[in-house]
Amino acid sequence: MVAARILGNMHQRYDATAILNPMMRAVVYDEPGSFTVREVPVPTVGEGQVLVRMTAAGMCGTDLHLHEGQFLANFPLTPGHENLGVVESVGNDATGGEVLDGEGAPLQVGQQVVINPNSACRACAYCLEGRPWLCGSFAGVGSSTPGGFADYLLVPGAQVFDATGIDPDLAVFAEPSACIAHLIDRLEPLAGCSVVVLGAGPTGVLLTQFLLFGGASSVVLADPNEFKLAVASSLADIGTFVMNREDVAGSMDAMVTSWGEFDVVIDATGRAGVIEELPRLARGGGRIVYYGVADEADVVRISPFDIFRRELTIMGSFTEVDSFPDALAAFRAGAIRVDGLITHRFGVDEYAAALEALRSDRSAHKIVITA
The per-residue pLDDT for range 110-130, each reduced to its tens digit, is 999 999 999 999 999 999 999
Residue 272 has what pLDDT? 97
* Helix, strand, coil percent values for the chain (each to nearest 5): 35, 30, 40
State the pLDDT at residue 97. Answer: 86
Residue 325 Cα to chain centre, angstroms:
15
The pLDDT tens digits of the residues spanning 27-74 come to 999 999 999 999 999 999 999 999 999 999 999 999 999 999 998 899
Is 217's pLDDT higher than 50? yes
Q: Which of 211, 194, 62, 210 lies closest to 140 in space, CA to CA?
A: 62
Query: Across-strand partners of 35?
Result: 29
pLDDT tens figures, 319-355: 999 999 999 999 999 999 999 999 999 999 999 999 9
Average confidence (pLDDT) over 246-275: 97
Residue pLDDT, tens place only, 61-93: 999 999 999 988 999 999 999 999 999 999 999
- pLDDT tens-digit series, residues 205-214: 999 999 999 9
What residue ranges define each of the domains in the chain, with the CATH number in brackets?
24-173+341-370 (3.90.180.10), 183-316 (3.40.50.720)
CA distances from 131 to 20, 142, 180, 186, 318 (A): 42, 21, 16, 11, 11
Strands (E), the chain: 23-31, 34-41, 49-59, 82-90, 112-115, 118-119, 139-140, 152-156, 160-162, 194-198, 218-223, 239-242, 262-267, 282-290, 313-316, 342-347, 366-370
Write down the pTM of the prediction: 0.92
pLDDT reading at 100 higher than 60: no
Residue 273's pLDDT band (boundaries 50, 70, 90)?
very high
CA distance 331 to 166: 8
Among 246, 250, 230, 249, which Cα is nearest to 238's?
230
Q: What pLDDT score does 19 carry?
A: 56
Percent of the chain topping pLDDT 90: 89
Q: At residue 292, what are phi and psi to the nearest 5 degrees?
A: -65, 150
In the predicted structure, residue 12 carries a pLDDT above the cut 70: no
261 Cβ neighbours under 8 A, 6+ residues apart? 281, 282, 283, 284, 286
Report pLDDT digits (tens) over 246-257.
Answer: 999 999 999 999
- pLDDT score of 17: 45
More confident residue, 350 or 5: 350
pLDDT for the residue 8: 39
With pLDDT > 70 as the criterion, what percentage of the chain qualifies? 93
pLDDT bracket for residue 6 (50, 70, 90): very low
Angle at 200 between CA 166 and CA 83, to 5 degrees: 35
Query: CA 211 to CA 221: how far, in whole Å?
Result: 11
DSSP calls for 205-229: HHHHHHHHHTT-SEEEEEES-HHHH
Residues 167, 18: Cα–Cα separation, whole Å: 34
Give residue 103's pLDDT band: very low, low, confident or very high (50, 70, 90): low
